[in-house]
Copies of this chain bind each other. A is one copy, B any other.
Amino acid sequence: MSPDLLDATFAALADPTRRAILARLATGEASVTELAAPFAMSQPAVSKHLKVLERAGLVSRGRDAQRRPCRLEARPLKAALDWLEDYRDYWAESYQRLDGLLAELQSEGGEGRTR
């Protein structure tokens, strides 16, 4: 997976408002105003959060008259989870068995990116 998408996904998840939005969307589609209702913040603020979620591919949007219903897209969540799975051995069992882990990690490890 492209690192940039992982970046965007983890960044999107690093905000409690956005996690709450995802939680709400797990119960079904919702419009922007429906999503904004529980929060003590303006509607444009929620629209911005939705854009962040959209950029990460976590939310897609439809069209229903003047409403733009939001739907949860879980594929990036799976990618994030897959990344985390590589570290499962660290809190499980014997703190050993990191054999298969290394090969997987090296692919991103030696990048030398500047940012």
Interface assignment of A43: CB less than 8 Å from any CB of chain B = no
A85–B81 Cα distance when bound, in Å, is 8
> What total of chain A residues lie within 8 Å of the partner, measured CB to CB?
51
Main secondary structure of the interface of A (DSSP, over half): helix
Which one of B8, B24, B77, B112 lies within 8 Å of A87 (CB-CB)? B77
A114 to chain B, nearest CB (A): 5
Interface assignment of A102: CB less than 8 Å from any CB of chain B = yes
Interface positions of A (Cβ within 8 A of B): 3, 6-11, 13-17, 19-20, 22-24, 26-27, 38-41, 72, 74-75, 77-78, 80-81, 83-88, 90-91, 98, 101-102, 105-106, 108-115
